[in-house]
Structure 1
Amino acid sequence: MTLMNYDPWQELAEMRRVFNRMFSEGFAQLPTERQAAQSGLFMPVDIAETSEEFVVTAELPGTNPDDIEITLSDNQVTIKGQRAAEQEERRGNYLRTERRFGSFCRSFALSSPVADDKVTASYKNGILEVHLPKSEGAKPRQIEIRTE
Structure 2
Amino acid sequence: MSLIRNDPFFAELSDFDSFFAPIIRRPHGNKEGGNVLGGHSSLFRPSLDVKEVDNGYLAQLNLPGLKKEDVDISLDKGVLNVKAAQKQENIQDNKGWHIRERHFGEFSRSWGVPPELTHEDIKASLNDGVLSLNYPKKEAEGAKKVTIN
Q: Tell me how far apart the structure 2 counterparts of residues 74 and 64 of structure 1 sit (CA, whole Å).
A: 27
Distance 1:91 1:74 in 2: 45
Q: Percent identity?
A: 24
1:76 partnered with 2:60:
no
Partner residue in 1 for 2:129: 126
**Which of 103, 106, 110 matches 1:107?**
110
Q: Which ranges of 4 or more aligned residues in structure 1 deviate by more than 6 Å?
A: 88-91
Runs of at least 5 residues in structure 1 that lack an aligned partner in the other structure: 1-33, 140-148
Relative to structure 1, the CA distance from residue 125 to residue 51 in structure 2 (aligned partners, 3 Å threshold; closer, same or farther) is closer
Aligned 8 A contact 1:120 1:132 in 2:
yes
Match of 1:67 in 2: 70
Aligned length: 104
Pick the structure with more helix per residue: 1
Mind listing any 5+ residue stretches in structure 2 that lack a counterpart?
A: 1-35, 142-149
C-alpha contact (below 8 Å) 1:116/1:132 kept by paired residues: no
- 2:137 is aligned with what amino acid? K
Q: Distance in 2 between matches of 1:74 and 1:51?
A: 24
Query: Deviation of residue 138 (structure 1)?
Result: 4.5
CA offset at residue 111 of structure 1? 4.9
Q: CA deviation at 1:114?
A: 2.1
Quick check: which has more Rg, 1 or 2?
1
State the TM-score, normalized to the length of structure 2: 0.59
TM-score (norm. length: structure 1): 0.60
